[in-house]
Amino acid sequence: MKLNALQSAIVNHQLDGHQHDDYTTNVRLGKHGTLQEFAVLANVLRPERMTSRHFAEYLAGNSWLYRDKHVLDMGSGSGVLGVVMARFGARSVTCADVSTDAVNNTRLNMERLAHDTETHVVQSDLFQNIADTRFETIVFNHPFFATKPIDYIPVSRAMFDEGNLLLRFLEQASSFLEPCGQIIMPFLHIAGDTNDPGIHAQRFGYELNLLERSLIKTEFQCGEASIYLLANPC
């Protein structure tokens, strides 16, 4: 799929900004504190400069969505969402990502920052290697922009997908959710409709709820963003 001029400018800026080595940073969660010395490895999205930080702050302030629940962080990347849920009350946190670099990054941050909670980290293409279990809450910060990942830029797989990944996820996720379980997903609307969960959720049988719609501004992603709750039927 072809991006328009504005979308192309945004993703090129993101790609340029993600040619980084391993480093540590402080991820601000607004009034809910800061994740100190948070590790970001090469070939992994920089959470402090993407919508990930906004989503992490939202989860920190809305722990009712996962408190005392068994949760899954799909496409965990650096592990920022899993760490937040572990620190703010989840009963257990399972993190999954298809990328070896992301799995290593998630495991490192979980060991450093979420050691008081039961955690599991697994390499998996969506639910492929997830144990035969059901979760009460699943979060997925999926790729937004509808174009092909670039083979020689591994991190692009976390930014780009032509739409199949989201549809596979929505089709499979209900089998890994408890009855009345929920999926929480963000979306940056400037990316277009293809990967917008709000457009596709209901035809897969989920009840769609808009938790938040706001104007966000990060170093690499700016514009209107939504956070959706997709409820599994009871």
Q: What residue spans define the domains of the chain?
A: 5-231
Q: pTM, whole model, 2 decimals?
A: 0.96
Segment 30-39, tens digit of pLDDT: 999 999 999 9
Residue type, 147: T
What CATH number was assigned to the domain covering residues 5-231? 3.40.50.150
**Under a CB-based contact definition with an 8 Å cutoff, are residues 207 and 177 in contact?**
no
| C-alpha dihedral, 114 to 85 to 60 to 25, nearest 10° | 40
Give the range among 39-43, 120-124, 219-223 with minimum mean pLDDT.
219-223
Q: Check residue 2 and give its pLDDT.
A: 85
Contact yes or no for 49/218 (Cβ under 8 A): yes
| Residue found by looking up tokens 């607004």 in the block | 30
Per-residue 3-state assignment (H helix, E strand, C coil) for 191-225: HCCCCCHHHHHHHHCCEEEEEEEEEEECCCCEEEE
Considering Cα of 160, then 165, then 170, then 176, what sign does the dihedral take? negative
pLDDT above 90 for 222: no
Query: Over the stretch 87-96, which tens digit does the pLDDT of each residue have?
Result: 999 999 999 9
Residue 218 pLDDT exceeds 90:
no
pLDDT tens, position by position, 164-214? 999 999 999 999 999 999 999 999 999 999 999 999 999 999 999 999 999
Contacts of 217 (CB under 8 A, 6+ apart): none
User: How confident is residue 15, by pLDDT bands cut at 50, 70 and 90?
Assistant: very high
